[in-house]
Amino acid sequence: MLVSTADRQRLEAITSERNRQRKHVERARVVLASVGARPVQQIAMQVGVSRPMVWRWQQRFAEAGVDGLLRDKTRKPGKPPIAAETVARVVALTCAAPPHEATHWTGRAMAKAAGISLRSVQRIWAAHDLQPHRVRTFKRSRDPRFADKLVDIVGLYVDPPAHAVVLSIDEKSQIQALDRTQPGLPLKPGRCGTMTHDYIRHGTTTLFAALNVLDGTVIGRCMQRHRHDEFIRFLNAVERDVPAGKLIEAVVDNYATHKHPKVKQWLARHPRWTFHFTPTSGSWLNAVENFFSTLTRKRIRRSSFHSIVDLQAAINRYLAEHNANPKPFVWKASAASILAKLDRLPASSE
């Protein structure tokens, strides 16, 4: 490449100027290194840039001189932003019923209806926090004494009575001992673990559990059935485990076993026990449900069990590990805040 004396002086001044932008300095160094018949690869290595960059600025200098190195080439303007009317239409359509027999909008269906790209639909949904593919289930209690029961149970969690143990008691029934038909492959970089979709059933077991709200420990027993007989056996086990002289405030749901006449007789013989029943359709007030959820996710759902004994042993090991480092159950929402939130929901139709 031929460079005149005047151009060489300007290029050298650019490379030596401390306040000059780095990109201008690199371009000037490329042209200065291109003087003579030097290979492009050698120039790129000397300046520390790529070969396409060497070619680009050699051509720019040949076409526009030194001034061409100091300005960027104008580009075509990008796509105009989506009109506000189109954005509003997408939001309105998303919140309305989809066409035909579909249950919800998909990105491609919305893109076709709005006449924009799928990526544009995704950006609009993300900006307005719209997730039509998701749905949350709910069940509003119709218990006429809902507020009273709520205040009672939340009061036990937030401000437990002195000289008392607050227990959340329930049973997780029909835990299946599922055995996969073939061994799965372990997790590896770039590949998730695998497990067969089919399985062999080896029976079921029921876990009776009592969560101590104050210290987070769980008393658990696995039994074959979940009738009132098994429930009374579990209550006897809890009675032996709780120190004498402590009152027992037990939170239970409305399962028929908990209200069986023989259970009521057992309670009459054990006056330190008091049952606090959750409202109907209000099992979320029972703290032990959180423990059952964690047990399912961490120990049962992705495991393979060869027998009921194997399943029960795994549950007992999980209980022992949990009780080795328990964490107290902390209830943060007040009864007033829960009632206020429920009042904002639309009234359910009878």
| Confidence at residue 347, expressed as pLDDT on a 0 to 100 scale | 61
Edge-first strand order for the sheet with 218-223 is 218-223, 199-212, 164-180, 247-252, 273-277
- 206 and 113 inside one domain: no
| Confidence at residue 69, expressed as pLDDT on a 0 to 100 scale | 86
| Confidence at residue 344, expressed as pLDDT on a 0 to 100 scale | 78
Q: Give the end of a domain, one of 69, 93, 119.
A: 69
Q: In this prediction, what percent of the chain has a pLDDT beyond 90?
A: 59
User: Average pLDDT, stretch 227-255?
Assistant: 94
Domain tally for the chain?
Answer: 3
- 119 and 212 inside one domain: no
Structural domain range at position 214: 147-343
Q: How many CB atoms lie within 10 A of CB 201?
A: 9
**Would you say residue 162 lies in a domain?**
yes
Question: Beta strands 273-277 and 218-223: pairing type?
Answer: unpaired
| Confidence at residue 108, expressed as pLDDT on a 0 to 100 scale | 94
| Confidence at residue 104, expressed as pLDDT on a 0 to 100 scale | 92
**Would you say residue 139 lies in a domain?**
no
- 41 and 151 inside one domain: no
Reported as a single tens digit per residue, the pLDDT across 162-178 is 889 999 999 999 999 99
| Confidence at residue 349, expressed as pLDDT on a 0 to 100 scale | 45
| Confidence at residue 350, expressed as pLDDT on a 0 to 100 scale | 43
User: Average pLDDT, stretch 329-345?
Assistant: 87
Reported as a single tens digit per residue, the pLDDT across 49-103 is 999 988 988 898 888 888 888 888 776 777 788 999 999 999 999 999 988 888 9
131 has pLDDT over 80: yes
User: Average pLDDT, stretch 213-240?
Assistant: 94
Average pLDDT of the chain is 90
- 45 and 94 inside one domain: no
- 254 and 334 inside one domain: yes
CA distance 159 to 73: 71
220 has pLDDT over 90: yes
